[in-house]
Amino acid sequence: MLMMPPKLTIAKVFSEMKAIAHSAGKESQKAKKEKIQKLLVASRGEEAKFIVRMLQAKLRIGIQIPTLLQALAYAFTLTKPGKSCGPAAVTDRRHGQAKLSAAELEPQMIGMEAAVKQAFSEMPNFDKLVAALMEGRDGSSLLQVCSISVGVPVKPMLAKPSKGIAEVGERLSGKRFTGEWKYDGERAQIHVLSKDVIQIYSRNSENMTEKYPDVIEVVKQSLAEDVQSCIIDSELVAFDQVNRKILPFQVLTTRGRKNITVEDIKVNVCLFAFDCMLVNGQPLVKEPLELRREKLWSILSPAEGKVTFAVYRNFNEINEEEIQAFLDESIAGSCEGLMLKTLTENATYEPSKRSLNWLKLKKDYLEGMADSIDVVPIGAYYGKGKRSGAYGAYLLAIYDQENEEFQTVCKAGTGFSDEDLTTHYSFFKNHQRPCAETNYNVNDKLKPDVWLEPCQVWEIRAADLSISPVHTSAFGVKADGKGIGLRFPRFLRIRDDKTPEESTGSEQIVEMFEAQASVSGTAAVDDDF
DNA sequence: CTTGTCTGCCCC
DNA sequence: ATTCTGC
DNA sequence: GCAGAATGGGCAGACAAG
């Protein structure tokens, strides 16, 4: 009988996980497989399940970073680290001579949680945060060590989606606010450590410096002379330097990411700056937007087609017509819509928080302004996690009259209520087909778990249309060997009043694609894709 | 060498 | 990215 | 309203397979 491998320890699992993460190059996949195999063989009980989940970076235990921060805050309020090591080195403030009551501890815990969360948002690094806590720091003393500084990306401030102009009015009434065009590119947090050391970070705090040497150059030239350091918030957008025109997001994504040299860059970008969190060592996150914007304009000078500021308009009061007009202008200007931000009141930079301060208003949130499409579910995929036992997503198609076939435009996995998911599953499990209908035009890569009879029409919504390497609608019309797919698709409702043959046609898909401001006006659209 | 498949603390 | 749901 | 967990299109790179 084979010997059972020794029990797994936390230290062992941690070092194996690190080894897997760092494994690269030829035959690395084999090496990773072997390590995983060893871990699984040595695991007992439920350990295997959690090892697999760890590898997938999906622990699904109801705890993510915010909860972890709360736990840290509570732990360092209830207990204090001592000078020596080991379990005895901890003072439990709930017991002993100097014990505190729950009523005394609670406000401390709440205050500590705020401090820990603020510290982590300005300095998102657990090593540094825990080190500071172990020193016994709390409250303002924690912020002194863990505060915004150049070279450490802060969690960018996010915006809350708004359902319509009426909702915007509710949130912002009585406050001065500004609307800014929302550009369709890549978030870029620019850190100027000195005139010669400039770094760029993504929305998720990934270092993109290597990807944008051209931006580094132009920022260096655009900085005012008296700027030694700063942090700028901006959007990088693909830009046609010749025709002075914003290009679609899809063009931006074709830029190389590694070993980039300025000479062989094929996709140029323009930087649209909109905020500034630090200048010359001085944090500005607690200052109101109006002042931060002033600072931003004073440290950066525009360079035609390379660096500029997000177009904005200030409002002293709600005016729905003017907001609508400004939104329309932003769409015509190849933007996604508007960002709406308070200027003075509640106008600080709140890293990572989708606070009320920033709202986003996109045309696809608005009834009537969005591309609404009628599609036919022709396949389904088994759900995972909380969607086990039902379909988690559906393959959706439109009907092409000319070729008399169903062509895919997207999958959909969002927009369903729990009830929708149940209803759809019980309906479609009686309309399964053993294989694809002969008039289904589906790429092999999208092969669903089950095929469905074309017997229902759904209304879905999307933000945009894009050239697709896998979807087959309007195949070859806008680009050779490619169809058209939908960006950010979501389920809206069942259309009982339509038959599958009455779903959106491929000509309409082409029209919607061409109507997009960022692709219109170019004769040779094909060349861009 | 080409081609296919899968991953990414990916971007949106 | 969007969306829904439990708390 | 927050936190968490479902799910989308599509790209360059990395690696495997042939």
Q: Is residue A21 part of a domain?
A: no
Q: For strand D, which residues in window 137-176 of chain A come within 7 Å by CB?
A: 160
- What is the span of the domain harbouring residue A64? 35-80+101-147
Q: Is residue A4 part of a domain?
A: no
A253 touches strand B (CB under 7 A): yes
Domain end (from A365, A390, A406)? A365
Query: Three-class SS of residue A393?
Result: strand
Give the residue, A270 or A25, on which the prediction is more confident.
A270
Q: Within 13 Å, how many C-alpha atoms sit on residue A496's CB side?
A: 0
Mean per-residue pLDDT for A387-412? 98
The answer to whether residue A522 scores a pLDDT higher than 80 is no
The answer to whether residue A306 scores a pLDDT higher than 90 is yes
Mean per-residue pLDDT for A352-362? 82
The answer to whether residue A9 scores a pLDDT higher than 90 is yes
| Residues near A500 by beta carbon (within 8 Å), at least 6 away in sequence | A376, A399, A406, A454, A455, A456, A457
- Same-domain check for residues A396 and A503: yes
- Same-domain check for residues A443 and A467: yes
pLDDT score recorded for residue A385:
92
A233 touches strand B (CB under 7 A): no
Handedness of CA A449, A450, A454, A455 (dihedral sign): negative
CATH number of the domain to which A334 belongs: 3.30.470.30
Q: Is residue A390 part of a domain?
A: yes
Give the amino acid at A472: T
- Same-domain check for residues A231 and A304: yes
| Number of separate domains in chain A | 3
pLDDT bucket at A96, cuts 50 / 70 / 90: confident
Distance, in Å, from the CA atom of A190 to the CA atom of A92, rounded to the nearest integer, reads 43
Distance, in Å, from the CA atom of A338 to the CA atom of A319, rounded to the nearest integer, reads 15
Q: For strand D, which residues in window 414-453 of chain A come within 7 Å by CB?
A: 414
For A463-496, write each residue's pLDDT tens digit. 999 999 999 999 999 999 999 999 999 999 999 9
The answer to whether residue A445 scores a pLDDT higher than 80 is yes
Tokens of A26: 């030829």
Of all residues in chain A, the percent with pLDDT exceeding 90 is 84
Q: Within 13 Å, how many C-alpha atoms sit on residue A481's CB side?
A: 2
Distance (Å) from CA A31 to C1' D5?
A: 31
Q: Is residue A306 part of a domain?
A: yes
A187 touches strand B (CB under 7 A): yes
Answer for the pair A203, A156: CB distance below 8 angstroms, yes or no.
Answer: yes
Beta strands in A358-404 (DSSP E): 358-362, 371-382, 391-400
Nucleotide nearest to A55 (CA to C1'): B9
Q: Is residue A195 part of a domain?
A: yes
Rounded (to 5) percent helix, strand, coil in chain A = 35, 25, 40
- Same-domain check for residues A169 and A246: yes
Nucleotide nearest to A182 (CA to C1'): B12
pTM for this entry: 0.94
- Same-domain check for residues A142 and A199: no
Answer for the pair A486, A514: CB distance below 8 angstroms, yes or no.
Answer: no
Only one residue has tokens 């092999």, namely: A444
The answer to whether residue A519 scores a pLDDT higher than 90 is no
Nearest C-alpha neighbor of A341 from the set A175, A181, A178: A178
Distance (Å) from CA A117 to C1' D3?
A: 14
A342 touches strand D (CB under 7 A): no
- Same-domain check for residues A70 and A43: yes
A184 touches strand B (CB under 7 A): yes
Q: b vs e for A223-253, b when ≥16 Cβ sit within 10 Å of the residue's Cβ?
A: beeebebbbbbbbbbbbbeeeebbbbbbbbe
Bases on strand C under 7 Å from any protein CB:
1-6
Distance (Å) from CA A67 to C1' D13?
A: 34
Nucleotide nearest to A364 (CA to C1'): C2
For A43-58, write each residue's pLDDT tens digit. 999 999 999 889 888 8
Across chain A, mean pLDDT equals 94
Q: Which residues touch strand C (CB under 7 A)?
A: A 161, 187, 203, 362, 364-365, 414-419, 461, 463, 488, 490
Which CA distances in Å does A321 have to A60, A314, A318?
45, 14, 9
| Residues near A113 by beta carbon (within 8 Å), at least 6 away in sequence | A69, A70, A73, A74
Answer for the pair A183, A235: CB distance below 8 angstroms, yes or no.
Answer: yes
The arrangement of strands across the sheet holding A312-315 comes to: A160-161, A358-362, A337-342, A177-182, A312-315
Distance (Å) from CA A485 to C1' B7?
A: 22
Answer for the pair A235, A187: CB distance below 8 angstroms, yes or no.
Answer: yes
Mean per-residue pLDDT for A184-209? 97
Distance, in Å, from the CA atom of A511 to the CA atom of A514, rounded to the nearest integer, reads 5
Q: Is residue A86 part of a domain?
A: no
- Same-domain check for residues A388 and A301: no
- Same-domain check for residues A268 and A306: yes
Distance, in Å, from the CA atom of A17 to the CA atom of A26, rounded to the nearest integer, reads 19
The residue lying closest to nucleotide C4, measuring its CA against C1', is: A417
pLDDT score recorded for residue A502:
97
Crossing angle of helices A28-42 and A47-55, in 10° steps, is: 160
pLDDT bucket at A523, cuts 50 / 70 / 90: very low
Q: Is residue A450 part of a domain?
A: yes
- The C-alpha angle with vertex A523 and arms to A521 and A529, in degrees rounded to 5, equals 95
pLDDT score recorded for residue A351:
87
- Same-domain check for residues A329 and A447: no
For A61-82, write each residue's pLDDT tens digit. 999 999 999 999 999 999 998 7
Domain end (from A365, A398, A421)? A365
A428 touches strand B (CB under 7 A): no
For A113-138, write each residue's pLDDT tens digit. 999 999 999 999 999 999 999 999 99
- Same-domain check for residues A314 and A435: no
Q: Which residues of A are catalytic?
A: 182
Q: Is residue A452 part of a domain?
A: yes
- Same-domain check for residues A485 and A427: yes
Query: Three-class SS of residue A145?
Result: helix
A322 touches strand B (CB under 7 A): no
Q: For strand D, which residues in window 40-59 of chain A come within 7 Å by CB?
A: 58-59
The answer to whether residue A83 scores a pLDDT higher than 90 is no
Give the residue, A309 or A52, on which the prediction is more confident.
A309
The answer to whether residue A521 scores a pLDDT higher than 90 is no
The answer to whether residue A246 scores a pLDDT higher than 50 is yes
CATH number of the domain to which A382 belongs: 2.40.50.140
| Residues near A87 by beta carbon (within 8 Å), at least 6 away in sequence | none
- Same-domain check for residues A315 and A400: no
pLDDT bucket at A90, cuts 50 / 70 / 90: confident
Domain end (from A365, A395, A421)? A365
Nearest C-alpha neighbor of A336 from the set A315, A311, A362, A299: A362
Bases on strand B under 7 Å from any protein CB:
9-12
Bases on strand D under 7 Å from any protein CB:
1-16
Q: b vs e for A423-439, b when ≥16 Cβ sit within 10 Å of the residue's Cβ?
A: ebbeebeeeeeeebeee
